[in-house]
C-alpha cells in the first residue's frame, strides 16, 4: 500500500526521467527452399550475419521491456508532463518577488461645452504603474516552496517509474514461469501418452488387463486442465507486459519473453543495504519533501501576521493640454502636463477574524500528518528488508534441495520408463514415478520463480531500479 500524504496547497506532480539504451533484436527471416540459387560472396556474408544475430520473431528481453516501459508507459508519461506543471507553479510562487508593471493608453474624442469651450478634440494619454514589494516575511518561504514543488514532482515521477518497472518485471518473470510450466506439463503428458500406447499394445497382446490401460489413459488426461491453466496464466502475463509497455494488442502481437528463468544466488549485507535504502528510495525522498512543502506552506500563511511594505510609481504622459480628467469638475482638475507620482504603503494585520489563524492550523495539521507518514515509512523499511532477505535465503535453500531431488527423480523416471515396456514394472509404479518427477521439476521451477520475484522485491525495496541491470546466471 502506498503511503498517503496530506497537502494543503494544490498537488504538484513531477519526476526525474530514467533513461537507458535498449538492445536491438533482429528478427530472423526464413528463406524458401527450392532451386539452387547462385549467390554472390556479399550475399553469403549477409546470410552468415543473419544466422548469427537471428532471434525468435517477437522475442523481447527484460532490458527491452524496461526501456520500452520507461519510454511509452502512460503513467510515466503523465508523471513527466507533471514536471512542466510544477515548473509553472514555481513561477507563481516566485512572482511575489518581482515587480508588477502596468501600461495603458486611453484614447478617444472629447466634445461638449464647458467654461467657454466647444467643438470636438481628440486626445491620447499614456499611463504606467510600477509596484514593488519592499518587505514581506513570506518571500523566502515562497521561493523555497516553489523549489520544493519541482522536487516533489521529480520524485513523483521517480515513484511512477519504479512502480511501472517493477510491475513489468514481475509480469516478465510470470510469463517465463508459466511458459516453462506449460512446457513441463506437456512433456510429462507426452511421456504418459507413450505409456498409454504401451499399455494398449500390451492389452491387445493379452499381456495386461483393461484396468492398466484405463488408468494410464486417465493419468494422461488429468494433465490437460493443468496445461490449459498454465497457458491462460501465460497469456495474462503477456497482456500485463503489453499494458506496461503501452502496446495495443489489437494492433500488434503480444510481447514474447526471451530466455528462461535462472537462479542467481544473492549475498546480502542487511545493515548497509538498509542504510542505503533510506537514502536512495524515491518514496522516502518524496515523503520528506512533502514534510518540507507543508512546513513552507505553514510559514507562508503565518507571514500574514507580519507587516508588509510596498512601493510604487504612477505616471501619466499627456501629449496635449486641455484634456479633461474623467470626473473632473473644473479646469484645475484637468491635465496640465505629464507627471510621475511615487507612493509607499505599509500594512499590518491588527485583528485576525480567523481567516489566517484557521489556515495556519490546517497547514500545521497537514505537516504533522506528513511527518508521521514519513516516520512510519522509514521505520517499515528495515522490517521489510529483513523479511525479503529471509525469504531470499529460504527460496535459495529450497532451490538447491529441489535441484538435487529433481536430478534423482529424473534418473528414476528414466529407469522405470525403460522397464515398463518389458513389463518388469507395473503401470502404477510408472505413474507414481512420473508424478514424483513432475512434482519435483515443477517445484524446482516454482522455487526459481519465487527467488526471482524476491530479487525484484529486494531491488524495489532498496531503491535499485535506477541502477537496475539483469544479471544472467552462470551456467551450472
Residue recorded with cell 491453466 = 229
Residue recorded with cell 526471482 = 452
Helices (H), ranges, 205-336: 210-244, 270-280, 282-302
Give the Å distances, CA to CA, from 59 to 175, 245, 251: 12, 14, 17
Question: In this structure, what C-alpha cell is assigned to residue 11?
Answer: 498537488
207-224: average pLDDT: 66
Sorted by sequence, the CB contacts under 8 Å of residue 403 that are 6+ apart come out as 444
Question: Helix 138-204 crosses helix 355-420 at what angle (to 10 degrees)?
Answer: 20
Residues in the chain: 476
Conformation bin of residue 199: beta by default, left when phi > 0, alpha when psi is -120 to 50: alpha
pLDDT at 185 over 70: yes
Closest CA to 17 of 166, 167, 159: 159
Give me the pLDDT at residue 174, please: 94
Q: Predicted confidence band at 326 (pLDDT cuts at 50, 70, 90)?
A: low
62-77: average pLDDT: 90
Closest CA to 266 of 445, 364, 394: 394
Phi, psi of 97 (to 5 degrees): -85, -35
Residue recorded with cell 549467390 = 39
Rounded-to-10 torsion of CA 129, 135, 136, 137? 170
Phi, psi of 103 (to 5 degrees): -130, 140
87-101: average pLDDT: 86
Distance from C-alpha of 224 to C-alpha of 188, rounded to nearest angstrom? 11
Q: What are 16-67's pLDDT values in tens digits?
A: 333 333 332 333 333 233 333 333 444 344 333 333 344 444 588 898 998 9
pLDDT at 135 over 70: yes
Question: In this structure, what C-alpha cell is assigned to residue 164?
Answer: 511501472
Q: Predicted confidence band at 356 (pLDDT cuts at 50, 70, 90)?
A: confident
Closest CA to 459 of 229, 195, 169, 235: 169
More confident residue, 110 or 141: 141
Give the Å distances, CA to CA, from 266 to 171, 455, 457, 473: 21, 8, 13, 11
Q: What are 293-310's pLDDT values in tens digits?
A: 999 999 988 888 888 888
**Interior angle at CA 293, CA 81 and CA 378, nearest 5:** 95
Give me the pLDDT at residue 303, please: 87
Residue recorded with cell 525469504 = 391
Give me the pLDDT at residue 337, please: 61
Least confident of 189-203, 327-341, 353-367, 423-437: 327-341
More confident residue, 317 or 397: 397
Helices (H), ranges, 38-137: 41-53, 62-72, 74-94
Distance from C-alpha of 397 to C-alpha of 265, rounded to nearest angstrom? 10
pLDDT at 172 over 70: yes
* 127 touches 105 (CB < 8 A): yes
Q: Which residues pair with 110 in a beta bridge?
A: 121
From the number of C-beta atoms within 10 Å of its C-beta (0-12, 13-18, 19+), residue 91 rates as exposed
Closest CA to 227 of 448, 438, 8, 1: 438
More confident residue, 274 or 120: 274
Which pairing describes strands 120-124 and 26-27: parallel, antiparallel, or unpaired?
Answer: unpaired
Q: Predicted confidence band at 472 (pLDDT cuts at 50, 70, 90)?
A: very low
pLDDT at 247 over 60: yes
Concatenate the DSSP letters of all residues of 406-475 into one string. HHHHHHHHHHHHHHHTTTSS-HHHHHHHHHHHHHHHHHHHHHHHHHHHHHHHHHHHTT-GGG---PPPPP
More confident residue, 136 or 32: 136
216-237: average pLDDT: 82
Amino acid at each position: 500500500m502506498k503511503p498517503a500524504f496530506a497537502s494543503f496547497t494544490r498537488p504538484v506532480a513531477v519526476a526525474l526521467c530514467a533513461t537507458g539504451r535498449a538492445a536491438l533484436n533482429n528478427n530472423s527471416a526464413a528463406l524458401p527452399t527450392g532451386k539452387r540459387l547462385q549467390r554472390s560472396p556479399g550475399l553469403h556474408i549477409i546470410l552468415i550475419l543473419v544466422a548469427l544475430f537471428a532471434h525468435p520473431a517477437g522475442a523481447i528481453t527484460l532490458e527491452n521491456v524496461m526501456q520500452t516501459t520507461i519510454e511509452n508507459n502512460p503513467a510515466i508519461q503523465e508523471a513527466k508532463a507533471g514536471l512542466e506543471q510544477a515548473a509553472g507553479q514555481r513561477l507563481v510562487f516566485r512572482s511575489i518577488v518581482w515587480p508588477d508593471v502596468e501600461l495603458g493608453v486611453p484614447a478617444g474624442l472629447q466634445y461638449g461645452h464647458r467654461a467657454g469651450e466647444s467643438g470636438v478634440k481628440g486626445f491620447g494619454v499614456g499611463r504606467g504603474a510600477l509596484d514593488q514589494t519592499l518587505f514581506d516575511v513570506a518571500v523566502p518561504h515562497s521561493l523555497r516552496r516553489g523549489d520544493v514543488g519541482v522536487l516533489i514532482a521529480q520524485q513523483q515521477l521517480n515513484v511512477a517509474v519504479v512502480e511501472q518497472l517493477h510491475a513489468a518485471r514481475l509480469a516478465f518473470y510470470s510469463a517465463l514461469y508459466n511458459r516453462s510450466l506449460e512446457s513441463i506439463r506437456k512433456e510429462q503428458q507426452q511421456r504418459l501418452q507413450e505409456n498409454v500406447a504401451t499399455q494398449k499394445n500390451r492389452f491387445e497382446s493379452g499381456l495386461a488387463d483393461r484396468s492398466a490401460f484405463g488408468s494410464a489413459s486417465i493419468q494422461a488426461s488429468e494433465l490437460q486442465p493443468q496445461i490449459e491453466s498454465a497457458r491462460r496464466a501465460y497469456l495474462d502475463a503477456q497482456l500485463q507486459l503489453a499494458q506496461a509497455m503501452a502496446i495495443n494488442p489489437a494492433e500488434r502481437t503480444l510481447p514474447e519473453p526471451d530466455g528462461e528463468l535462472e537462479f542467481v544466488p544473492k549475498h546480502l549485507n542487511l545493515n548497509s543495504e538498509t542504510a542505503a535504502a533510506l537514502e536512495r528510495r524515491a518514496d522516502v525522498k518524496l515523503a520528506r519533501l512533502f514534510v518540507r512543502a507543508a512546513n513552507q506552506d505553514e510559514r507562508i500563511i503565518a507571514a500574514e501576521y507580519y507587516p508588509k511594505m510596498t512601493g510604487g510609481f504612477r505616471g501619466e504622459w499627456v501629449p496635449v493640454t486641455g484634456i479633461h480628467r474623467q470626473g473632473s469638475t473644473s479646469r484645475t482638475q484637468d491635465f496640465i502636463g505629464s507627471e510621475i507620482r511615487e507612493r509607499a504603503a505599509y500594512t499590518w494585520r491588527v485583528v485576525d477574524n480567523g481567516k489566517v489563524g484557521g489556515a495556519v492550523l490546517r497547514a500545521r495539521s497537514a505537516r504533522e500528518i506528513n511527518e508521521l507518514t514519513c516516520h512510519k515509512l522509514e521505520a517499515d523499511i528495515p522490517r521489510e528488508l529483513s523479511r525479503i532477505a529471509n525469504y531470499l535465503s529460504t527460496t535459495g535453500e529450497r532451490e538447491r534441495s529441489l535441484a538435487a531431488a529433481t536430478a534423482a527423480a529424473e534418473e528414476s523416471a528414466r529407469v522405470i520408463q525403460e522397464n515398463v515396456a518389458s513389463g518388469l514394472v507395473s503401470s502404477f509404479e510408472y505413474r507414481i514415478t512420473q508424478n514424483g518427477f513432475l512434482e519435483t521439476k515443477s517445484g524446482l521451477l516454482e522455487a526459481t520463480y519465487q527467488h526471482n520475484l524476491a530479487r525484484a522485491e529486494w531491488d524495489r525495496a532498496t531503491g535499485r531500479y535506477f541502477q537496475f541491470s539483469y544479471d544472467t546466471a552462470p551456467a551450472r
